[in-house]
Amino acid sequence: MAQYYKCPKCDAHAKVIKPGKGVLSCCGKDMEPVLNFASPDDILDFAITREQEAHDFYAEWADKLDNKWIREVFRDFAREEEKHRDVLSKAKQGGTLKPSDKKITDLKISDYLIDITPTPDMDYQKALVVAMKREYASYKFYSDLSETVSDPGLKETLTALAQEEAKHKLRLETMYEKEVLLWD
């Protein structure tokens, strides 16, 4: 499979047609390698592990958190990440997930918030930030990966999963906007 690099500043992607000795750069910065996999099954296995980890994170913290509202939100997200894992398992048998034509709004709230390390007593606001950051990372993971594959079915599935994670982020950002920003 081809090697891809992305610009950390403008998000441009570059495909390496013939590897050389130099360093790729864009916007004055070294470009970063996008994950490289040997086969579509490798991609799917890696993504399955990520979804399982996402499920485990939400399920574990849903039990640990003091705040009952955020516990419910985390339980819901745990179920959704489990569904993503199953979509990817089916993709290994040739199943595909179709992306939607609708553009998912990006409220960009999480872009301006700093990372938070989860603690059992974290409040509603902090838990939302932790989840938003995770969902943004998942969205980027699928959207970057979808640019690197040529198989049309796999590309569609990865694009659809990027949309799912963008929807998760939007849901959390909407909650944050309504229940944190407007209450301040």
Positions in the binding site for Fe ion (CB under 5 A): 51, 81, 84, 135, 138, 165, 168
CA distance linking residue 159 with residue 89, whole number of Å: 16
Question: For residue 155, which of 76, 105, 108, 98 has the smallest C-alpha distance?
Answer: 98
**CB closer to Fe ion out of 2 and 35:** 35
Residue nearest to Fe ion (CB): 84
**CB closer to Fe ion out of 30 and 86:** 86
Q: Which residue has the tokens 């398992």?
A: 89
**CB closer to Fe ion out of 6 and 55:** 55
Closest approach of Fe ion to the CB of residue 16, in Å: 28
Closest approach of Fe ion to the CB of residue 54, in Å: 5
CA distance linking residue 52 with residue 74, whole number of Å: 14
Closest approach of Fe ion to the CB of residue 47, in Å: 9
DSSP result, 78-93:
HHHHHHHHHHHHHHHT
